[in-house]
Structure 1
Amino acid sequence: MRHKLFHASDYQLVRRASLVALLGLLSFTYLTVAFAKLSTSSQHLSARPTVMPRGKILSADGRILAAGSLQQRRYPDGPLAAQVVGFVGTSGGLEGLERSYNDRLQRGEALTLTLDTRIQGAVEEILLEALTRTDAEFASTVVMETRTGKLKALASMPGFDLNSWKQVPPDRWRNRAALDEYEPGSVIKALTVAALLNEGRTSPDTTYDTPMWRRVAGATINDIVAHPDRLSTRQILRYSSNVGMTQLVETVPPEILFRYFRAYGFGQPVKLGLPAGDGLVRDPAGWDPLSQATMSFGQGMTVTTLQLVAAFNVMANGGRYVAPRLVLGGPAKTRTVLGESTATSMREMLHGVIDEGIKTKAVLPGYHAGGKTGTAQVVVDGRYSGKVFSSTFAGFIPADQPLFTVAVMVRGAKREYQGSQLAAPIFRDVTSALLSLYAMRPKIERSPSP
């Protein structure tokens, strides 16, 4: 009996030990499976992309131009200011402000622009209509607030929808208003005259011999618009006389004109927070009498539309250059270029250029503006083309106390390519939108007493 009891007890111990081992094995298996599931779940969570907040881009009038994360970026206004706003790729900004301010936007900081979508939209519609009507290649227009330098519109057309940027050729992405460099033509005459007035080298009523053509350094300089054989400085602007301009600059040291061109902002990019063209003003050591003569009327130098609006704004702003601004924040940077009396004289003369020459083409009845047209042949394959032109206009409104300065450029119009035919009416339509939006009243013309 004792022997049997010994074996039974031993058997029970073995069974209990086996049961405990089985329970331990099951517990271990359960924990292993649970851990595996937890590990797999964690891997799935870590594999999901982290959605980082990206700052919005807003207009001055409170419209959202860009919003959403990098992976889900959206552009509510689609084509509006497309080249300015730009777009993003999988790793960051690719064009426009999205690229230039990528780090700031990636940190979630908002960007508020000076642009007014009402003005920007109106300008883009006006340019698109002009391109369609004249079958032109492209156009740009800049609207700047005279005193502050705030850009209310920075337009390049044709444009594209930011939500479908991959579906258009890359040249549509180009911010032509800031980047494209071109010979501006006769619009530069106003800035040359302003420099000479400021230096005391001429006056509004000083007269010069102005035949319809003249030989300068072996080349023939021609005028297009018929005019008297003697013209005053103000009439040289009024008739846009190339011959008259050669007389004005004939004895002027090249360093003086170069200094003023640089002071106007030519030959150096506008620091806007976006890529911008330098333009070209050659070192005066390389000027000869012919190159100086042609530069006085805008040939042999290049500018951008953004540079042009800032330069013309000097005359509108009492002789002070104010740096264009696109992003709000910080004071405007200014410098003195012309005396106030010079600027006043130039506004008066440029008012006459419009009122006595192209009033109905450049301004609405009852309103007064100052400005100058330009038409320049475009260099194609190393030679000036007889078929491709740049049409320009730069001016300000109202003429006596300017609030806005506007510059226009259209390239390659097949019809109506003269500055007075194309760029001036665009100026008129753009300023009409400004007059309407800001409720500027017309100036009542009083008839003289009998």
Structure 2
Amino acid sequence: MPHPLFHASDFHLKRRAASLAIAALLAFASLAVALAGVIIPARPAPASVAAPPRGELRSADGRVLAGGDLPRRVYPLGPLAAPVIGFVGASGGLEGLERASDPQLRRGEDLTLTLDTRVQAAAESILTEALERTDAEYASAAVLDTRSGDLLALASVPGFDPNAWRATPPDRWRNRAVLDEYEPGSVVKALTVAALLNEGRTTPDTQYDTPMWRRFAGATINDIVAHPPTLKTRQILRYSSNVGMTRLVEGVPAELLHRYFTAYGFGRPVRLGLPAGDGLLRDPADWSPLTQATQSFGQGLTVTTLQLAVAFNVLANDGRYVTPRILAGAPSTSRRVLTPQTAATMRELLHGVVDDGIKTKAELPGYHVGGKTGTAQVVVDGRYSAQVFSSTFAGFLPAARPRFTVAVMVRGAKREYQGSQLAAPIFREISSTLLSLYALRPEMVRPPTAEP
């Protein structure tokens, strides 16, 4: 029997209140879960976006020079053209074209170089043999297609293997053909004579008084190769007469020679898409009569091997400067520096320099080339060294209608350091490769002499 004070209505009220409390608690819990889902959403797993594969570097003859992505980048031809190609690190290109063309390669673009691996390999091998034979420090060479300006070879030795670049001293990474600046010596005489011929200030057969030594502008200028006391302009080149060059440039305005040297490309970096040295060419206002004379025969100014090749290419290319290229399809420009007649005359004169002086050193039987040697003392600790020399040769082939222009430099040879002993034979051997690869027929007669 229910307690008298406990009514049924109270029981039902308490039961309803408990039910409402439980319902409210469940509703609050559901709301809290829902709100938690809004405020702190579940973070989706990031979508993986694959980077495009790194582009390849290929040669003009279709060989892969660099391929694969950054962690697994490989260089199938090893040391071949390594200072040009460069190498990569974990984050991108570090040297050479790997660095200079890093944005394009990152986008997956394949780049074709103008280099012919056959010419490149031959140039590197010939230079390396010369280093070993003469115990020289290093050497470089540039081989141009005369008309297009395409670089068929750009060699710097000793080189390195980009597959193992960390194990190589950094000086081996250096693209010396483009970066290293040096005094070229007598090879510049040809460019000076071309400027004076072009301006009508001399002719090939103008005669000059040329003793074996001469006091000029407070200094004694000496010649090395014995020669007659009177020389024509063509013979000044043939005997590489410093005294003769002082006669040629005496009284010539400094601005005139400076304008031609600038037009040849001296004193400014070659636009190649790679870091490049600009060389030293002083303002003409700073030239004294003595510095003008010494610069006319290649002392007191500096060039790179590529600059030297491009300058001589003006003589080979009918007087037009053509911008060199290392990447196929890159823009190329040209401008006139000399008249076609002046260029033809210089080709005839420089063929005579070879045939009448160093024929067996620079030329193969049955072929005709033109060029000029240079031997320059190297400045060491602020003074010209009597033991360290730069040996140079620049020239073109065939002499009458050049297809190729070549420049060579060897530094620090302990033996056979004269340009005629060292650089000229290197030119001859590179020429032999070009003649063979491109099937150029022998010329059994000497090219006709150009009229002055």
TM-score scaled to structure 2, two decimals?
0.88
Which structure 2 residues correspond to residues 274-353 of structure 1 after superposition, within 5 A? 274-353=274-353
- In the alignment, structure 1 residue 140 sits paired with structure 2 residue 140: yes
Asked whether the equivalents of residues 51 and 69 of structure 1 are also in contact (C-alpha less than 8 Å), the reply is no
Counterpart-to-counterpart distance in 1, 2:52 and 2:195: 53
Residue matched to 2:368: 368
Coordinate RMSD, CA, aligned: 2.0
Which structure 2 residues correspond to residues 184-333 of structure 1 after superposition, within 5 A? 184-333=184-333
Cα deviation, residue 392, structure 1: 0.1
Residue matched to 2:166: 166
Residue matched to 1:152: 152
Counterpart-to-counterpart distance in 1, 2:205 and 2:373: 21
Residue matched to 2:15: none
Q: Rg larger in 1 or in 2? A: 2
AA of the residue aligned to 2:350: L
Cα deviation, residue 330, structure 1: 4.2
Which structure 2 residues correspond to residues 379-390 of structure 1 after superposition, within 5 A? 379-390=379-390
SS in 1 for 2:350: helix
SS in 1 for 2:388: strand
SS in 2 for 1:71: helix
Please give the per-residue CA displacement for 1:325-378, whole angstroms capped at 9, x wherever unaligned. 000114421000000100000000000000000000001111000000000000
AA of the residue aligned to 2:220: T
Residue matched to 1:73: 73
Please give the per-residue CA displacement for 1:192-245, whole angstroms capped at 9, x wherever unaligned. 000000000000000000000001111000000000000000000000000000
AA of the residue aligned to 1:419: G
Asked whether the equivalents of residues 54 and 109 of structure 1 are also in contact (C-alpha less than 8 Å), the reply is yes
Cα deviation, residue 52, structure 1: 3.8
Counterpart-to-counterpart distance in 2, 1:439 and 1:50: 47
SS in 2 for 1:94: strand
Counterpart-to-counterpart distance in 2, 1:159 and 1:389: 21
AA of the residue aligned to 2:127: L
Cα deviation, residue 134, structure 1: 0.3
Counterpart-to-counterpart distance in 2, 1:426 and 1:278: 25
TM-score scaled to structure 1, two decimals?
0.89
SS in 2 for 1:60: coil
AA of the residue aligned to 2:312: F
AA of the residue aligned to 2:239: Y
Cα deviation, residue 51, structure 1: 5.4
Asked whether the equivalents of residues 51 and 71 of structure 1 are also in contact (C-alpha less than 8 Å), the reply is no
SS in 1 for 2:228: coil
Cα deviation, residue 399, structure 1: 0.2
Residue matched to 2:425: 425
SS in 1 for 2:88: coil
Which structure 2 residues correspond to residues 39-54 of structure 1 after superposition, within 5 A? 50=50, 52-54=52-54
* Residue ranges of structure 1 left out of the alignment (5+ in a row): 1-37
Counterpart-to-counterpart distance in 1, 2:248 and 2:345: 17
Number of aligned residue pairs: 411
Aligned-pair identity in percent equals: 73
Counterpart-to-counterpart distance in 1, 2:219 and 2:94: 47
Please give the per-residue CA displacement for 1:59-118, whole angstroms capped at 9, x wherever unaligned. 000000001111111100010000000100011000000000000000000110100000
The runs of at least 4 consecutive aligned structure 1 residues that moved more than 2 Å come to: 49-52
Please give the per-residue CA displacement for 1:262-310, whole angstroms capped at 9, x wherever unaligned. 0000000000000000001100001101000100000000000000000
